[in-house]
Amino acid sequence: MPHVTVEKVRQVIIKELEDIKAEDIVVIGLTGKSDIADYMIIASGRSQRQVGAAADHVHKAVKRLSGQAPAIEGLPTSDWVLIDSGDVIVHIFRPEVREFYNLEKMWSADLPLSGAEDPSEGAL
């Protein structure tokens, strides 16, 4: 199977989320923030059923594209489903769960202070 770019995976995931009418789709670039992936995509489904269906669509689309099934967690309850395709991580939430965890705020925050700027340095 030919190599699939990270950009192509990101585009396919966003298209699948849009096709199933996921809401409030946000893409966060992780370059320079974390080595876990290049992108994090966060979306909401109006119900557990829609969250589960969106996760299933994304899972199948990534598998068709790359030839490998991405890791998936949270399907039994479908309050928060995580799909890890390697370079792109997808979180699909019910709105109230998304609001509670507020991943957008956490990942858009400034990077931690460097060691030289650490206010705890020299503390007893």
Note the pLDDT tens digit of each residue in 30-76.
888 888 999 999 999 999 999 999 999 999 999 999 999 999 999 99
Residue at 121 is within a domain: no
Residue at 1 is within a domain: no
pLDDT score, position 120: 41
Task: Assign 115 a pLDDT band (cuts: 50, 70, 90).
Answer: very low
Residue at 118 is within a domain: no
Over the stretch 90-107, which tens digit does the pLDDT of each residue have?
999 999 999 999 998 887
23 has pLDDT over 70: yes
Specify the CATH number for the domain of residue 12: 3.30.460.10
pLDDT score, position 104: 85
- Whole-angstrom distance, CA of residue 112 vs CA of residue 106: 12
pLDDT score, position 119: 41
The total number of structural domains in the chain stands at 1
112 has pLDDT over 50: no
29: containing domain: 6-108
Joined tokens for residue 101: 């965890």
Residue at 113 is within a domain: no
Residue at 117 is within a domain: no
pLDDT score, position 2: 55
pLDDT score, position 111: 39
pLDDT score, position 20: 95
